[in-house]
A = this chain, B = another copy of it.
Amino acid sequence: MQPYELTLAAAAEEIRARRLSPVELVDSVLARIERTEPHLGAYVTVTAERARLAARNAEHEVAHGRHRGPLHGVPMALKDLIDVNGLPTTASSRVRTGHRANADSTVAARLDAAGAILLGKTHTHEFAFGLTTPQTRNAWDQDRVAGGSSGGSAVAVAAGAATFALGTDTGGSIRVPAALNGVVGLKPTYGLVPRHGVTPLSWSLDHVGPITRTVQDAALVLTVLAGPDPRDPASLPAPAAAPHYRPGPGTDLTGLRVGVPRTHYFDRVHPHVESAVRRALGQLEALGARLVDVDIPMTRYLQATQWGLMVPEAAAYHEHTLRTAPELYQDDVRILLEAGQLMSAGDHLRAQRSRALIRAAWESLLQDVDLIAAPTVPVTAAPADRPALTWPDGTEESVSDAYVRLNAPANITGLPALTVPAGQDPDGLPIGLQLLARPLAEATLLRVGHAYEQTRPALPQLPTPLHS
């Protein structure tokens, strides 16, 4: 096994025990990037020299007994919405030509303090306003979409081109590409991870979180990212006791009540996705969990609420550039932003009010179960040239709408949600199991996700030519 193939937890253990140097690890991942980038296009920028310098520093620190913790010396990538001092934050957009961040975002600063090593900035669907990330190709089939908007981060982690990465999630943008590329993605509770220095899409729905190869890795990254920062107005206060995210070794889920949606999450879901997720539910039951049928509330209002909040907030952020240089946006994004400028205050208020009702209804739902288990997306990665799906009932749905549909509830409610790989379809494309829990119940999500991951059937590796 090459160093670039290691999970974060395994790499961390090797580095801590001084069996692996951060320099070797970073060199291995940089070589992997050179090999995969021509096929995948995950990165906007690779900061190889900067990474090598940081790796030598980390090697020196670890060799002198100054080990900072599990992220020390581990190479990672940041979605290019996340400011790093001195680097451009391109948002994968021509609008940002000539941009340069003059300070670290909170998450970049926390990763840096923990000793993680930046490899570069990864592609996002332009300004995170889309679900495909057209610059990047799916790690499992280069004719398929990467998913988005954190497509570059998910593909890099899947392909061995980063040991972990960060994404952002406004309507599924961490979970969708993680699911479509067979990796783990965590959208934390709204307000748990500060967004200071991260370009907003829709500030009342935006989240930052990790994309990793395992659930345990997600816990290691969340431990570094979580915690208050008054520069994000939505940042939650620190809890009385520091939370412990890392899952223990056990896989016994006795006593856990897992809600299985009777509504919404299995409607218009591809049979291969449904059967893989039902198998995963059976696995949770085999580990001792009790499956409980639940009805998802207010499903008719989800899409209108998500778009009614997201579109005008995005338009507000882009107001100035939309006026001065609209031609710099890609057509799909510009059209959405212009639609946001036309929305009425009444429609926006309706979305705010229905959000309040949806939140209250989910709060009540989660009094009866500890978590909800469901598919992350209703279909695997779509062909890159196909903008819409046709369902057996004859209805057409845009690929974006299909990918947002099962993810939006966690953005509207702010609830934490985790996606874990749960098998492949017959074309070998990854399928994601989504777990949702109560506010700040990340430890529960991670414990259950880890138990599932330890006991599920083995997953295949990346197909050639990327598998080596």
Contact = CB atoms under 8 A, between A and B. Distances in A.
Contacts of A312: 345-346, 349
Contact of A313 (B315, B316, B349): B349
A131 B343 CA distance: 30
Interface string A283-313: 0000000000000000000000000000011
A345 B340 contact: yes
A315 to B, nearest CB: 6
Contact of A356 (B233, B319, B356): B233
A353 B342 CA distance: 19
A346 B341 contact: yes
Contacts of A350: 316
A348 interface: yes
Contact of A316 (B319, B340, B346, B356): B346
A396 interface: no
A349 B233 CA distance: 15
Contacts of A342: 344
Contacts of A347: 345
Nearest to A233: B356
A346 B344 CA distance: 8
A348 B344 CA distance: 9
Nearest to A356: B233
Contacts of A319: 346
Contacts of A316: 346, 349-350, 353
Contact of A346 (B315, B349, B353, B360): B315
Contacts of A315: 345-346
A344 B311 CA distance: 12
Contacts of A346: 312, 315-316, 319, 340-341, 343
Interface residues of A, number: 20
Contacts of A353: 316
Nearest to A350: B316
A429 B311 CA distance: 51
Interface in A235-292: none
Interface in A318-360: 319, 340-350, 353, 356, 360
A349 B345 CA distance: 8
- Between A313, A342, A344, A356, the greatest number of chain B beta carbons within 10 A of the residue's beta carbon is seen for A344
Contacts of A341: 344, 346
Interface in A353-404: 353, 356, 360
A340 B347 CA distance: 12
A354 to B, nearest CB: 12
Contacts of A345: 312, 315, 340, 343-345, 347-348
A356 B203 CA distance: 13
A348 to B, nearest CB: 4
A307 B346 CA distance: 14
A175 B349 CA distance: 28
A307 to B, nearest CB: 12
Nearest to A315: B346
Interface in A96-110: none
Given A233-B356, A356-B233, A349 B349 contact: no
A315 B348 CA distance: 12
9 contacts: A233-B360, A313-B349, A315-B345, A340-B345, A341-B344, A344-B344, A345-B345, A345-B347, A348-B348
Given A315-B345, A341-B346, A345-B348, 6 more contacts: A233-B360, A312-B345, A315-B346, A342-B344, A343-B345, A345-B347
Q: Ordered nearest first, which 6 A-B pairs have the shortest CB separation?
A: A312-B345, A345-B348, A343-B345, A316-B349, A345-B345, A316-B346
